[in-house]
Amino acid sequence: MDIRFNPSRPDADTLVFAVSKGAVETLPLTASPTLIAGASAARFTGEAGTSFESFAEEGGKVLRVVLLGIGGGSEADLERAGGALTAKLATSGAVHAAVEFPGGVTGKDAARLAFGALLRGWRIETYRTRQPEKAKPTLKMVTIVSADAGSEWDKLSALAAGVAFTRELVSEPANILYPESFVERCQHLKELGVKITVLDKAAMTELGMGALLGVAQGSVREPRLLALEWDGTDGAQEKPAVFVGKGVTFDTGGISIKPAAGMEDMKWDMGGAGAVAGAIKALAGRKAKAHVVGICGLVENMPDGAAQRPGDIVTSMSGQTIEVLNTDAEGRLVLCDALTWAQKIYDPEILVDLATLTGAMIVSLGSEYAGIFANDDGVADGLIAAGKAAGDPLWRFPLSDAYNKLIDSPIADMKNIGSRYAGSITAAQFIQRFVDDGVKWAHLDIAGMVWADKPGPVWDKGATGYGVRLIDRFVADKFEG
């Protein structure tokens, strides 16, 4: 879908009037009184994301007319309105919609509505060979009738491209997206100025990444560690902010195999790595004035004859030993080596990992919030504030020595699972053992957020792109504010 800005109304087949809550203004149409009366009868009041649809004759042709509620005009309201517009018109038969603001609008607000429309318009059609005619998308263009949004739209369209990239990665099936092909999908980021570093199995073996390699040893797909570095400060920000993503491109659970029902969902167990890659694309695309590194630990967890067994002991890159009691608690094994390497190579002051780590997080928070654990209140507060502003909400959970003791092993330095209780917390405690002293760290368990079983305000059913807007806003607030 193409988004354009034009100071005057184009020749479109659909007219959309964005109206504030409680202020359905006189519309610039001869049929204005009838439309307003109809909207009132339908109880349309302009609440964000609501709409009223009708048809009117104007200039000798019949046009579809939509009144679109923008609520109080906040960023969230405008995004919701844009998303609702796309959801309503995407397969409606409308081809070109022109959006006007009878009450006036700033370029910034116009860009925000367009951003919501663009986010909601993403869908994956790669593998469809037949589709009912009425299910096919028809909306090709949305023209925002306002002054050019300029640099604001440049930033938001780059952010939307990052979200779309994450959704693409998360949506792909595991026979298409695996560690090596994930790396290939990221190669185009070089064109944006991103420096790419890739470690193969041999390099990771030499570095002693026994935890990550243990997860990968049951698959014919070789693991990769991918680093994406963007420096928009020309070296002025010496220590980068580092974001590390869990990238298990398919998770059977290994020898501790998952139930068959629903296992197909485990193609999105690389949602953390997908979010990191999309965020780097967004930051580079908008030329963020920050130094940021995204690291993706990429493996496939399979149960063949060479697979890791429950009871095995592996040695991590940090030198700490791990008793693997459950091969389905694999994400933390991938992250621990990726975090150790990240700290050794980049010496970050701020380190954040994102992972679809535990089913226990979904039990706790459902699909409304991701969980956050942190060793620094400032970083935690910054991430929570960024998530709230960006629409990627977080809820903080505790860390303490009492929980930490639950993963002590009688035979190794630690075990990779605790008891059946506090599963998300003990997973975070495990990861914290690999964070160096003095590093400000946060762990985001995004298990319930990367995939949606029903449409949301700015996403369709499927991959949500969670984490990209969060990282982008956090970087903007922390380093560019």
> Distance (Å, rounded) from C-alpha 189 to C-alpha 366?
33
Three-state SS sequence of the chain: CEEEEECCCCCCCEEEEEEECCECCCCCCCCHHHHHHHHHHCCCCCCCCCEEEEEEEECCEEEEEEEEECCCCCHHHHHHHHHHHHHHHCCCCCCEEEEECCCCCCHHHHHHHHHHHHHHCCCCCCCCCCCCHHHCCCCCEEEEECCCCHHHHHHHHHHHHHHHHHHHHHHCCCCCCCHHHHHHHCHHHHHHCCEEEEECHHHHHHHCCHHHHHHHCCCCCCCEEEEEEEECCCCCCCCCEEEEEEEEEEECCCCCCCCCCCHHHHHHCCHHHHHHHHHHHHHHHCCCCCEEEEEEEEEEECCCCCCCCCCCEEECCCCCEEECCCCCCCHHHHHHHHHHHHHHHHCCCEEEEEECCCHHHHHHHCCCCEEEEECCHHHHHHHHHHHHHHCCCEEECCCCHHHHHHHCCCCCCEECCCCCCCHHHHHHHHHHCCCCCCCEEEEEECCCCCEECCCCCCCCCEECCCCHHHHHHHHHHHHHC
Identified catalytic residue from 21, 123, 201, 258: 258
**Structure tokens, 23:** 């202020």
Strand, coil or helix: 35: helix
As a whole number of angstroms, the distance between CA 380 and CA 441 comes to 9
**CB 356, CB 246: distance < 8 Å:** yes
Active site residue 309: no
Find the catalytic residue in 167, 281, 286, 332. Answer: 332
Residues 173, 157: Cα–Cα separation, whole Å: 26
Q: 258 an active-site residue?
A: yes
* Residues taking part in catalysis: 258, 332
